[in-house]
Structure formats: C-alpha cells, structure tokens
Structure 1
C-alpha cells in the first residue's frame, strides 16, 4: 500500500506542484494519476521513489516512511518505467533487463536467467535479448522497459506515461499486456497519463488532478464517468462520458439471436438478406451482401468488412459498437475462442440501456 498524508511539494521558485495531497493506493491494484499538464501528477509519482522529495507531509510504502530509507535502496525495491523506456543504448536487451538484479548483488548468470524469463513474460521472443535498443520498435522497447522494472520482483511499480510515445494500435496492445501481467503478478501500480481514455481503461481507481496540484476526484472509473465531482472533472473526462461509461456495464441483458451463416470456400446461392461468412472454426470473415452472386466457392474478396466483434459476457458498449459498425446492422457476438455465437441489433442494445436507466430511477 502507498499512502500520501498531507503531502505538499513547493519548488524553490515558490511554485506549488502538489498541494496537501491525501490519497491511499491499495496494494495489488492499478491506480492512475491523470490530469492536464502542470497538475502535479508526475511530481506525485516521483516523490514515491524519492526522485523528488516532498516539502512537507508523509509518504508511506507498506507502512514505512520513505524518508527513512536510503534513496538508492528504496528505488531498488520499486520498479520504474518511463516514456520511451529509457534503456541503456550500449547494452543488449538482456543486460538492460538484468540491470537491477546485478546492482542487488545477483550473479551475472542468475540475473540473465531472470531477464530471459521476463522477456517471455512480456511477450518478446528470446532472440531479441541479443539485440540493442536501437534495433527494436517503440512498442518492443516499452515491453523491455516493463521487463526491466519487474526484474527484481518489486511489490511496487511506477509508470510515468510509458505508452504515450507509441502509435494508438501499439498503445492499446501495451495496455492489454499490462492488464494481463497485472492479473498474473498482482503488483501495486501507480500509472501516470494525460489521456482519460487510457486512465479509465486500465485503472481500478483514477485520481484526477487539477492545476495547482490539487486532487479533484479519486474514484473508480465507472463512478468518475457517471458522477463527476465538479465542472472541472466533468469537462476533463469529456462530453461522451455517458457512452464510455457503458464499458463498465456487462451485456448479459442483451439477448443474442441467430445470424444467417455461409461457409468460406463453399458454394452459396444468392439471397436477399445479409449473411455472415465464417471459416471452418466458425470465426467471422466478413459479410456477404444481399443479392451477391458468387461463381464457384465463396472467397473472401467478395465479402464486406465485418465491423467490430464483442465477446459474450463483456460490456454493453462493445455490443452497441459491434451493431453500429456492422454493414448489416447486426453486431456479431463471439465466444472466448472467437467463434460466432449469434448477433444483436442496436435497437436491442439501446432497449436494454434504456431499461437500465429507468431501473436506476
């Protein structure tokens, strides 16, 4: 657990970066600090590992005042991931990951063995261990940065805008990877971002900071979107917060109906309805438009892109997005293996959303 008790940081020029912060980060959770530039979120993070010392107040990690611990020793027990990974360019990937274990007195063979295990854990092939950072993509570098931070198995992991320098597709993949790792490792993670979408996607709790280093609201993502504390928070989380809050409502109330199917590589007759093409594992491949004539076996070149999919049991936002993005108006539901279960319409999903709204009064 990390606890901030009346913590203030005032710089020499009089600027107050963090103002009387009281906040508890529960053990084994991901807590996200978010807010506009200059709001004190990164300063708050960097005070935890004493990259910056507080001007007043107390920060406790597992009940111990951090000011009572030698800074280098404190940092060896806290993983730290920064933007663009901050890897040593003259060291191989494997030696980058092994850095903290070596500093902690591990033998080189033991440290490298641990590094190899972590590369696999973060989804990187073993052969990348011999390369240098410049030979990696941005997303690969960030994965190495996470592996390095985990090398000595610290209970606490600090992440300062680690994914902001990569493109949106890679960024979403890294977010998924972080959530997967957390499910396995159960670390106490403090994550800084300026992106509210990233904050509500990965955070179990989100701390919104306003300028002047003031904590505006500290809450679970669903509560933050549904009930902003004030106009600042409402403006910061965005006008579409109602739609985004659907990510925290499961789609169990949406009844999945049958969907007409055709098989890729088999002959099909013309039809006046949209039909979903699947492969031999019932994975969706696209839509066959009404009236389409196919000479010979069905090939994917004649299919319309299928829009997004939603997995049964996931959020109602996913169900609505699948229906709205589908050329047929039918949102495709799949199981955990990606096989088609059925489909829903936007009208069905909206009816369930309206029912939920009325039940809440």
Structure 2
C-alpha cells in the first residue's frame, strides 16, 4: 500500500508549525525512515497517517484514498503501530496483548490466540513467554511483543515511532536485524521514525531527512543522502564520517578471504608466534589465542582474547572493515550463513576494494 503526503502542513494554535508543506511518497512494500533532530516533525508526520494527528492543510493518502475519508477506528485497525517502550497493556498476558487488534476486528478468541502464538515465533520469542505479563519481560522482549501486536491483524502498513531507542545498543542491533528479516519476508509498507542516522541508513529503503520547523530537507535512498547531501544542514546531520557509512552500500565483490591458523577448543595448542583463531566442533569462531601463549591442558574459552565483530560473507564492505578493525589480531573473521569460519580479511583488503570503486564512497 502506497502512502503519499501532498503539501501536508500541521500548524497548532498560537502559530507553531510542526510540519511545513511536506510532499513525498512511500512506495508500496518499502521501508521509509523519517530522521532528524528533536522538534523537526518526525512523529507528527507519522501520526497523521493514522489520524492520531489531523493535518491543517494538505492530504495524506493511502493507495490514493484520503485518510480523512476513512473512519479513524477502521483506519487504525488496518495500520500496525509500534511505539517506544512497546506500550503494552500491563494487566494482559503476552498472548492477550498480541491478540488485541484481531479481537477488536471481530476474530474469535481461539483464532486470535492462535495468531498470537504464531507471531511469537515470527518475532523470535519462545512460546512459553505467551503466558507471562509485560513486567516479566526484558526491554528487548517487550519491543518484540509490540512488533508482534502490530502485525497481528496482518496490516499492509506499519508505523514505528522510535521503537528501539529505549534499549541498549546490543539489543537494539538485534531488533534491527529482526526487523530487516521480517520486512524481507513480509513486505509491509513501513514508516519508521528515529533520530539516529546510523539506524536510518541501516533500515531504510528511503530516508527522509527533516529539519527543525518541519521542513523536508532531503528524500532519497540512504546512499544518495550519504553521498550527495543537498545542503550543509544534511551534510552536518549525516556526519563527517558519512563516507564510512557509505560502505554499507558498497558490494564486497572482489574481497577474497585468506586462510588463517586455527586451533580447536579442547585441543592442546602448543605455542606459536602467530595469532591463532580458536574454533568449536562446528568450525565457528570462539576467540583468538595470543602469540606466545601457553596453555596448561586442553584449550578453553577462558584462555582466549575476545574476537571482535564477525563479517558474514556476501554482505557490505562496512561489516568487513568493522571486523578487521575490531579484531585484536587485525584480522577480520569471515563466516558463512551457518556461522562457520571461511577465512580472514584485513583493513588493507577492504581499502583495495574501495580504491577500485572510489566513486561509491565519494562523499566529501
């Protein structure tokens, strides 16, 4: 379902303008991220889609139909909505929370709870959590339940208002991965609000950068925004390191991993003057053994140095560079889809690929 903003303005009593003459189209089945500083109208724009805020001027259309022509209750039941801190009902179980919209839409209790159980698996939560209450869940689990609740009636549109901003960075990255995977499988039309440019370029098919005063500064693909900011405001907002962020959109074709010395957990490794990568029985990396290390008996993970981030083969160059720079051995570990070691890369390998395609990261 396509979402279109046509000359939309929101002006409050006293003359304060939250959104100023915004026009853009969110393509069907895509994820568009609204990003900008506080007070730029991101959330107001989002909430005009489901009529929680009414525009002063202009139109918001769903597949060409003005949302003002749709009953608000009917409209909202057809749009998933996820907010910060999940907004779960504290007195309802997890299954009860997820089943809320299907029940309001006339589903039978049995069908609604069956759907809720299916969605627990969809968002990566174990079935046994269904009988718990929100207070018994971690922040990350609550956010997953919030996403499941928004998806329960299978809406074509999903609105997400800074849903991951209240969780720690590790959990946040996991939730972003879950959302990317869900979108790949479900193909919803998603409008996502964030103040974090890294989150915006990681998640969005398109990014709308907004400035204070509710003006749309630039709208385009993440790579377009990073490589060709339209003015000093956008350039400053995306940051001086936007060339590094641009690696997220540069293919790793030509980046060939090299072999590295490995040692198995549980073995007697002896000594070496080289860094050695420790692997488990499935050849998955567990950490590094420092040069000159001696181990009494069998090698355990307690003997290892943490290995830094991993690079999954076939993804963008940014992940490869992260892996190389975060590794204590300056060797980025490359893994396959099963998590098994393929080889290693260095930052020099990544730079060689970049130098063959300088235009791809040419943000200045």
Please indicate, yes or no, whether the TM-score normalized by the shorter chain is above 0.5: yes
Partner of 1:174: 175
Alignment of 1:137-286 (within 5 A): 137-286=138-287
**What is the CA distance between 1:240 and its match in structure 2?**
1.1
CA distance, structure 2, for counterparts of residue 321 and residue 329 of structure 1: 10
1:47 matched to 2:48? The reply is yes
Does residue 52 of structure 2 align to residue 61 of structure 1? no
How far 1:193 moved relative to its partner?
0.8
Q: Deviations 1:269-299 (Å, cap 9, x if unpaired)? A: 3222222121221111222222222333333
- Does 1:8 find its partner at 2:1? no
In 2: Cα distance, 1:329 partner to 1:189 partner: 38
Structure 2 alignment gaps of length 5 or more = none
Q: Secondary structure at the match of 1:349?
A: helix
* 1:172-200 C-alpha deviation (Å, 9 max, x unpaired): 11111111111111100000111111111
Preserved contact between residue 266 and residue 298 of structure 2 (Cα < 8 Å)? yes
User: Which stretch has the larger CA shift, 108-117 or 21-30?
Assistant: 108-117
**Distance (whole Å) between structure 1 residues aligned to residue 359 and residue 28 of structure 2:** 36
**Higher alpha-carbon deviation: 97-106 or 283-292:** 283-292
Deviation at 1:262, TM superposition (A): 1.8
| 2:357 aligned counterpart, secondary structure | helix
Deviations 1:213-267 (A, max 9, x none): 1000011111111111110001111111111111111222222111112222222
Structure-2 separation of matches of 1:76 and 1:165: 26
Aligned residue-pair number: 361
CA contact (8 A) 2:288 2:306 kept: yes
Tell me whether 1:329 sits opposite 2:330 in the alignment.
yes
Q: Does 2:317 correspond to 1:304? A: no
* Residues 246, 361 of structure 2: 8 Å contact kept: no
- How does 1:122-141 map onto structure 2 within 5 Å? 122-141=123-142
CA distance in 2, matches of 1:274, 1:131: 46
Indicate how the Cα distance of structure 1 residues 358 and 128 shifts in structure 2: closer, same or farther if over 3 A, else same: closer
| Secondary structure class of the residue paired with 1:200 | helix
Please give the TM-score of this superposition, normalised by the length of structure 1: 0.96
Structure 1: runs of 5 or more not aligned: none
Query: Counterparts of 2:328 and 2:106 in 1: how far apart (Å)?
Result: 60
Contact 2:217 2:234 in 1 (8 A): yes
Q: 1:299 to 1:245 in 2, by over 3 A?
A: same
Give me the CA root mean square deviation: 1.6
Q: Which residue of 1 aligns with 2:106?
A: 105
1:359 is displaced (CA, Å) by 8.6
Superimposed CA distance per residue, residues 112-141 of structure 1 (whole angstroms, 9 cap, x where no aligned partner): 111111122111222222222222211111
Map 1:309-324 to 2 at 5 A.
Answer: 309-324=310-325
In 2: Cα distance, 1:321 partner to 1:306 partner: 12
Question: Which 4+ stretches in 1 moved above 4 angstroms?
Answer: 358-361
Aligned partner of residue 343 in structure 2, secondary structure: strand
Q: Report SS of the residue matched to 2:247.
A: helix
Q: Is the 8 A contact 2:98 2:116 kept in 1?
A: yes
Could you say what secondary structure the match of 1:38 adopts? coil
Please give the per-residue CA displacement for 1:66-111, whole angstroms capped at 9, x wherever unaligned.
1111111111111111111111122222111111111111111111
For 1:116, the equivalent position in structure 2 comes to 117
Assess, with a 3 A threshold, how the Cα gap between structure 1 residues 53 and 245 changes in structure 2: closer, same or farther: same
CA distance in 2, matches of 1:311, 1:299: 25
| Residue aligned with 1:44, SS | helix
